[in-house]
Chain A
Amino acid sequence: MRKTSRLGSEARLGWSLVAPALSVIALIAIFPLGWTFWESLHLHELRMPWLGKPFIGLANYAEIVKDPRFWGALGHTAFFTVVSISLELLIGLFLALAMNRVFRGRGFVRAAVLVPWAIPTVVAALLWRFIFESQGGIANALLVRAGILDQPMVWFIETATAWVPVILADVWKTTPFVALLLLAGLQNIDLTLYEAAAVDGANAWWQLRHITLPLLKPAILVTLIFRTLDGFRVFDLIYVLTGGGPGTSTEPVALYTFNALLQNLRFGYGSALSVVIFAITFGLALFYVRGLGVRLGGEES
């Protein structure tokens, strides 16, 4: 009896200590989310005051479900996320393994690799657009000279070729970040494991498969969760590079939402789209944390 009441007072103290932090979170995260959700239950078109602002329940969500442009955008987002992250993980792992070796100038290489990551996305996107844009652009010139193309082509008018600069730009920009995260993971692996394996006659490939990769799994999963969430919210890169075109065939959900919300000023429908994006990213995060057991904190399982 006395024990529980002491626990209760301790709990109260605990709550009062975290209360300021919780109220900040409530103010900057939960309140806007709640507001957006409330907005999404209304028909609210800033441009059309004659419609009023009636409560329409889940009608906006019903419209989303029936909206082929939304499903298309969802597909493009998933495609972009899967392709770019696979490439980034592969190349990033390779870079991390190389940077993990002891060689002269290692510090310099580690810093140099980060340069693309340091460039603002919009600037990077403009750079890549410039490379691919015109028939006289650098990409066309190189490919024609190398004999890969017979004549210069217009990259941004076909779906398949429009994805090339988008994915390349993302891989170029984000691989360094992935490499660095993986490098941090690599440095946590005890070197004596490799020595022991070498004594037992294991070759490099065997060491990679049975020591490096299993022990790197936590780092890989953390990278995956970061990159998946980023990929799912991709906006600026595609906004600058293709604008979602040709047609809407490279349009991601974030761009579609921006369009509904800020171009067409459809606050109700746009809010519903925002809530859907939030739900999807939240679900993905939950899947990674619960399903794959990513440990974001330092606690031992």
Chain B
Amino acid sequence: MLESLVRGRDLLLLACAASLGCSRAANKRETVLTFSGSALGAEGTLVAKQLKRFMQLNPDIRVELQRTPDDASQRHQLYVQWLNARVGNPSILQLDVVWTPEFAAAGWVLPLDRFGPAKAEFFAATIAANTWAGKVYALPWFADVGLLYRRTDLVPREPRTLEEVVDDAQSAMSRRGGPRYGIVSQGARYEGLITGFVEYLGAFGGQIIDDRGEVVVNRPEAVRALEFMRDELYRTRVAPLDVLTWHEEEARFAFQNGNAVFMRNWPYPVAAMSDTAQSKVAGKFAVSPMPASGTAPAGHSTAALGGAQLAINAYTEFPDAAYKLIAYLTAPEQMLERAQAVGQYPTRPALYDDARLKSAIAIPLDNARRAIESATPRPVTPIYTELSEILQIELHRALVRQAAPRAALDAAAAKINALIERTGMRKLMAAASKA
């Protein structure tokens, strides 16, 4: 029995030596990176193309593509399982913007400072979102921002305040043959609700957690922001109650079919909505940053920040090669190519002066840049996901009128404070700031 096993292994070795592929794997000197990330459709083609070019430039490094689910929460769950088992692959992780602090605090991704990333070349908010305890743990690959879409045939001038948005929506709706809905957005109980809330919150000068780490989501500014959102549903009635069950796509359908004056959404629908074959609003809409409230002195135009980051698996054998690849993929040329191929926004402000970007993203470059400059990261904390769940529930309760805005936000603040206590965040942050 044992003998036959040994002989079997010898045979295998022989077969290995004979075939090139196996001898490569057996050769430990070769640097093999695994890259995981969105690899569907046009994005997949683009990634394959860029990885191939990278390998031509670096013949000593081989990069393999490792498929991961495209759904963010499924990918997150897989990453966490692998990293708990200290698996070194994939060597490069694609992180959602709100995951970086979690992975950093867990020690699952490497700090990048020793590689000397050119932090100043990226939008400040995109670096802030990837910074934990003073160190950068991931580089922004592409940015997503919340934008205000408006029908230019109904509202020719860009509204300067949130109050103007509501007025414009009401007058366009009351016009004969005007759209059924004023403002559509994603208001179901999920992460999308938080991104919308963050924008209203900033517009009224509020925050969820302040710079000193205090929970301030029940301060008066925040209560006013939530009241404004609720008034849009029940008082000014510019938003249909349906939005409380909607995700981004339902909002897009409504706007694309000509049923809404305004829409809050990400940049992705621009392409489909500019296509006359499927869109009733092609050539009749414009995109601008979400405005601030005209009644709140501390309010400022705010966009929620989304997008993907690239980070190095802390258990990889080849951190230097991995950084090389990240630097390559986040270099201006590759970002520009990405914008041209799939319309995703570069995270480098300098590219917004580049004429080649203009044809790649269908909206005026200045509007896009202004939106990203007004972008605010959601709370940069390792416990973001649970914090978000608490807020999702309490905000939704307020918006469906199960609770008053003030009471809902008080409850959220109490629960977030309890979460911070339970997870030992204060101690962790104190230790991190000392290090």
The distance in angstroms between the C-alpha atoms of A48 and B386, with both chains bound, is 12
Closest to B253 in A: A134
A46 with B80: CB separation less than 8 A: yes
Indicate whether B245 reaches chain A with its CB closer than 8 angstroms. Answer: yes
Closest chain-B Cβ to A163's Cβ sits at a distance in Å of 14
The distance in angstroms between the C-alpha atoms of A248 and B393, with both chains bound, is 7
B386 with A50: CB separation less than 8 A: no
Contacts of B13 in A (CB 8 A): none
Contacts of B403 in A (CB 8 A): 247
B245 with A49: CB separation less than 8 A: no
Contacts A154-B242, A243-B189 known; 12 new A-B pairs at CB < 8 A: A46-B81, A48-B106, A48-B382, A49-B106, A49-B107, A154-B241, A156-B244, A157-B245, A243-B188, A245-B396, A246-B396, A263-B385
Interface flags for B101-122 (1: CB within 8 Å of A; 0: not) read 0100111000000000000000
Indicate whether A158 reaches chain B with its CB closer than 8 angstroms. Answer: yes
The size class of the interface chain A forms with chain B is: 20 to 34
Give the B-binding residues of A (Cβ under 8 A).
45-51, 133-135, 154, 156-159, 243-249, 259, 262-265
Indicate whether B41 reaches chain A with its CB closer than 8 angstroms. Answer: no
Prevailing SS type, chain B contact patch: helix
Closest to A153 in B: B241
Interface flags for B71-89 (1: CB within 8 Å of A; 0: not) read 0010001001100100000
> Which residue of A154, A247, A259, A262 is within 8 Å of B397 (Cβ)?
A247
Contacts of A263 in B (CB 8 A): 73, 385, 389
Closest chain-A Cβ to B434's Cβ sits at a distance in Å of 14
A-facing residues in B177-224 (Cβ within 8 Å)? 188-190
- A245-B396, A248-B393 known; A50-B424 Cβ under 8 A: yes
B242 with A135: CB separation less than 8 A: yes
Contacts of B423 in A (CB 8 A): 45, 48, 51
B106 with A246: CB separation less than 8 A: no
A246 with B242: CB separation less than 8 A: no
- A47-B80, A157-B244 known; A264-B396 Cβ under 8 A: no
Indicate whether B400 reaches chain A with its CB closer than 8 angstroms. Answer: yes
A156 with B396: CB separation less than 8 A: no
Indicate whether B66 reaches chain A with its CB closer than 8 angstroms. Answer: no
> Which residue of A46, A154, A264 is within 8 Å of B389 (Cβ)?
A264
Contacts of B81 in A (CB 8 A): 46
Contacts of A48 in B (CB 8 A): 105-106, 382-383, 423-424
A154 with B245: CB separation less than 8 A: yes
Contacts of B400 in A (CB 8 A): 157-158, 245-247
> Which residue of A47, A157, A244, A248 is within 8 Å of B241 (Cβ)?
A157
A-facing residues in B380-402 (Cβ within 8 Å)? 382-383, 385-386, 389, 393-394, 396-397, 400, 402
The distance in angstroms between the C-alpha atoms of A78 and B30, with both chains bound, is 60
The size class of the interface chain B forms with chain A is: 20 to 34
5 contacts between A and B (CB under 8 A): A46-B80, A48-B424, A49-B84, A244-B189, A247-B393
Contacts of A158 in B (CB 8 A): 400
The distance in angstroms between the C-alpha atoms of A263 and B189, with both chains bound, is 15
The distance in angstroms between the C-alpha atoms of A12 and B394, with both chains bound, is 61
Indicate whether B428 reaches chain A with its CB closer than 8 angstroms. Answer: yes
The distance in angstroms between the C-alpha atoms of A47 and B76, with both chains bound, is 10
Prevailing SS type, chain A contact patch: loop
A247 with B189: CB separation less than 8 A: yes
The distance in angstroms between the C-alpha atoms of A262 and B385, with both chains bound, is 12
Contacts of A262 in B (CB 8 A): 77
A-facing residues in B105-163 (Cβ within 8 Å)? 105-107
A264 with B385: CB separation less than 8 A: yes
| Most chain B CB inside 10 Å of its own CB: which residue of A247, A262, A265 | A247
Contacts of A157 in B (CB 8 A): 241, 244-245, 400
Contacts of B394 in A (CB 8 A): 247
The distance in angstroms between the C-alpha atoms of A252 and B71, with both chains bound, is 25
A264 with B386: CB separation less than 8 A: yes
- A50-B106, A157-B241, A157-B245 known; A265-B80 Cβ under 8 A: yes
Contacts of B240 in A (CB 8 A): 135
- A133-B245, A154-B245, A263-B73 known; A247-B385 Cβ under 8 A: no
Interface flags for B415-430 (1: CB within 8 Å of A; 0: not) read 0000000011000100
Contacts of B102 in A (CB 8 A): 47
A51 with B424: CB separation less than 8 A: yes
Closest to B103 in A: A47
The distance in angstroms between the C-alpha atoms of A120 and B393, with both chains bound, is 29
Closest to A51 in B: B424
The distance in angstroms between the C-alpha atoms of A12 and B385, with both chains bound, is 56
> Which residue of B77, B190, B244, B383 is within 8 Å of A154 (Cβ)?
B244
Identify the 7 closest CB pairs spanning chains A and B, nearest first.
Answer: A247-B397, A246-B400, A154-B241, A157-B400, A157-B244, A245-B189, A49-B106
Closest to A262 in B: B77
Closest to B81 in A: A46
Closest to B397 in A: A247
Closest chain-B Cβ to A176's Cβ sits at a distance in Å of 30
Contacts of B245 in A (CB 8 A): 133, 154, 156-157
The distance in angstroms between the C-alpha atoms of A154 and B187, with both chains bound, is 13
Contacts of A246 in B (CB 8 A): 189, 244, 396-397, 400, 402
Closest chain-A Cβ to B109's Cβ sits at a distance in Å of 13
The distance in angstroms between the C-alpha atoms of A53 and B184, with both chains bound, is 45
Closest to A245 in B: B189
Closest chain-B Cβ to A269's Cβ sits at a distance in Å of 10
| Most chain B CB inside 10 Å of its own CB: which residue of A47, A50, A246 | A47
Contacts of A265 in B (CB 8 A): 77, 80
A47 with B385: CB separation less than 8 A: yes
The distance in angstroms between the C-alpha atoms of A246 and B398, with both chains bound, is 10
Contacts of B386 in A (CB 8 A): 264
